[in-house]
Amino acid sequence: MPKVGVHVSIAGSVDRAVDRAIALGCDTFQIFTRNPRGWRRRRLGDGEAREFARKLGASGIGPAVGHMPYLPNLASPKRAVYAKSVEALGAELATCRRLGIPYLVAHLGSHLGAGAEEGSRRVIAAINSALSEGPGDVMLLLENGSGSKNGIGSTFEEIARIIDGVDAKERVGVCLDTCHAFAAGYDLRDEGSLGETMDEFERALGLWRLKVVHINDSKGGLGSGVDRHEHIGMGRIGDGGFRAILRHGALARLPMILETPLDGRRDDVEELRWVRRLAGEAGPA
């Protein structure tokens, strides 16, 4: 059975995220370590960080996964935004280190019309700068994009070129978002198409670089470039696609994080139950 969890809130205190993950029945979980919609960070006290690490160790849940906030844009040609984005990446790596979180997921951003080559150059420089600031006990995971206009990292080959430019390559991995991949044109709807997509991933990047899966259905069609997550089985990938994902040998061994909508159709507990039912139907690889 794959390790499945959801993105949980840190409201009140970051250590409460562990309590929430336990209450929901998560095997793994993801958090923003700060307000995801602002630039300012509240101070994380030593006691709060220690309590998070203590609860996490006692819970048996893991790994915990950190996620960069929304505002940073590592590909931005705007000088002020880029500088703040690089600073935020370094700060988030340091926070994950304090909390004992092994992975930090980052979107690669938008070049805003400056061109993919220039945007990728900026992403590489940002990663090299941030990784040079501290020790290497947190791995940065580059999340694939959805194929949106001006977006960076929507193809496996583009992500590979970025990693090739990173000095500390051993500190960089990949987070595969199923909604983003489907929207960018990678078919996942059945065992055959998923196999072809993962073969492409292997050729471009190597499956050994894949560390976390964001397991989300897609409201948009194949190759639509539309980044709109949907409940598992209610979107265009469908239950059949997720049965294939959950029985794929390389994927089923990885932590899977749900980032599905918060609405009245299915809550987090029901979503976890649905995925586990599909995993049970999938059987051994």
Active site residues: 37, 67, 70, 107, 143, 177, 180, 214, 227, 229, 259
Q: Which residues pair with 5 in a beta bridge?
A: 28, 257
Query: Which residues 6+ apart lie within 8 Å of 79 measured at CB?
Result: none
| Closest C-alpha among 191, 244, 192 to residue 215 | 244
Residue identified by tokens 């790596």 is: 93
Q: Which amino acid is at 92?
A: E
In angstroms, the CA 148 to CA 250 distance is: 27
β-strand 217-218 against 229-230: which pairing, if any? antiparallel
Please report the beta strands in the chain, taking only residues with DSSP state E, as ranges in sequence order. Answer: 4-7, 28-31, 64-67, 103-107, 139-143, 172-177, 210-214, 217-218, 229-230, 256-258
In angstroms, the CA 67 to CA 23 distance is: 21
Half-sphere exposure of 282 (CA within 13 A, CB side): 25
DSSP string, 19-67: HHHHHHT-SEEEE-SS-TT-S------HHHHHHHHHHHHHH----EEEE
